Chains A and B, each alone.
Chain A
Amino acid sequence: MSDTLRKTPLHSAHIVLSARMVDFAGWDMPVLYTGILEEARAVRSGVGLFDISHMGRIRLFGEGTTALLQQLTTNNVEALQASQAQYSLLTNPEGGVIDDIIVYRVGAEEYYVVINASNTDKDIAWIQQHLPTTVTLEDWSARTAMIAVQGKNAPQLVSDLAGIPSLLDLTRFQYVQGTFLGASTIFCRTGYTGEDGFEIIVPANDAEKIWNALVDAGGVPCGLGARDALRIEAGYPLYGHEIDDTTTPVEAGLMWVVDLNKPAFTGHEPIRAVKQVGASRRLVGLTLPSERLVPRQGFNVFSGDTLVGQVTSGVFSPIRNHSVAMGYVAKEFAKTGTPLEVEIRNKRAKATVIPKKNLLQDP
């Protein structure tokens, strides 16, 4: 293990649990504890716990913060009420995606923003570059930890353990500040697994106590392997796979978090132009019902002898017990039901285009 890797406040808890650790975006993170499939299935059937403290957490406040976020992000910040969060994108002037983020509105001119670990430095530099003198950017990442508690039993478990019954009343993307085992905590009804649950932000010094209490209450520790499998099953994009600086939200199917009617934001014009003519390729879900080989990023997708696209992410689905994938295909081949083939090493595996939201299960 390299000494230069960064460690989250839960690092020693992972070592105690005999997690297998890997370098993820410069962080020494658990990829699995007992097994990726077993952990992923635990989330689908009960409650799983994920250390997501490697993600960046910043606070922005001061006169002009709302205007700044309206300028830099694609979703409409004005539509957010206090105690609500929204999924959004930071886009560059070409309309490419700098990062996908969650924006929490605290008050009229105060927000928290959660960003990807792999993009933390890039995002902070980008925001700093546009920061008016009246707005302060505070990097909270080192002072706090973040834990995702996911699964159909997750809300009840968190609510019981915190002794806050009203947590169950939070709707998706609502959050509340409260006390969890004596520690000041943000509880947000969000997640990256396709299941119900919370993502909680806690002080770094209290993280291990809270993690251990969640484990003792029946939460199954889950690593990044299970997290990736679950998000693919849920059809969620991962930066560096489905989206990057060169992909627009149009082809990525993310226009639901782009408000072209709000005042112009960075990247507005190129995105509007692509939307008007239509993207030449589309991000689709692919199901490979008789396949156990894993379609991995970069594998080619064919229609007959014609190369029509590439896989961006794929996994042996723990819930379906066969392989599924996401990938970009030429728009002519993006229609649900289109039969395609994924080239997996020397084999052509049969695949069918399905909506990303149906990767988890057939409707």
Chain B
Amino acid sequence: MAQNIPADLKYTKSHEWVRVEGDVVVIGITDHAQDSLGDIVYLDLPEAGRVLAKEDTFGEVESVKAVSELYSPVSGEVVEANTGIQDSTEVVNTDPYEGGWLIKVRLSDPSEVEALLSAEEYGAVADAEGH
């Protein structure tokens, strides 16, 4: 199945995406991730103000089939969580890169973004996993 991997985003091997908006990044899970999980029914998201180190667990996503932890791609402070979708979690399935974003983080070390995977590199990771 063709995966949607927007070229302007950065990615992690654990299937999060990152969009840079000034000194804040928006974080979500990739189309590949939502497709592998299937119907998402529950999202545990952090409160604004929480300080995350790179690769910290920042939440949990549960689908009908499985539970998966969410890992922060960067270090920084959570400025907003998309709590509005916690009762309509299917948005993460249908619109993972826009309406289904999860948290916004104010970067403490902007250089971390550069170290993340490009769309092309992430595509290879996703392909290798297949289904």
> Residues on A close to B: CB < 8 A?
18, 20, 31-32, 35-38, 225, 229, 292-294, 315-316, 323, 345
Contact = CB atoms under 8 A, between A and B. Distances in A.
Contacts of A229: 64
Interface in B15-30: none
Main DSSP-derived SS at the A contact region: mixed
B99 interface: no
B38 A35 contact: yes
Q: Kindly name the residue among A20, A229, A315, A323 whose own CB sees the greatest number of chain B CB atoms within 10 A.
A: A20
A229 B65 CA distance: 11
A225 B65 contact: yes
Interface of B: 1, 38-39, 41-42, 62, 64-65, 67, 86, 89-90, 93, 131
Given A37-B64, A315-B64, A293 B42 contact: yes
B41 A316 contact: yes
The 9 closest A-B pairs by CB, nearest first: A316-B41, A292-B42, A37-B39, A36-B64, A292-B41, A293-B42, A36-B39, A35-B39, A316-B64
Given A31-B65, A229-B64, 17 more contacts: A18-B1, A35-B93, A36-B64, A37-B39, A37-B64, A38-B39, A225-B64, A225-B65, A292-B42, A292-B62, A292-B86, A294-B42, A294-B67, A315-B64, A316-B39, A316-B42, A345-B67
Contacts of B89: 292
A225 B62 CA distance: 15
A181 B76 CA distance: 64
Nearest to B94: A35
Contacts of A18: 1
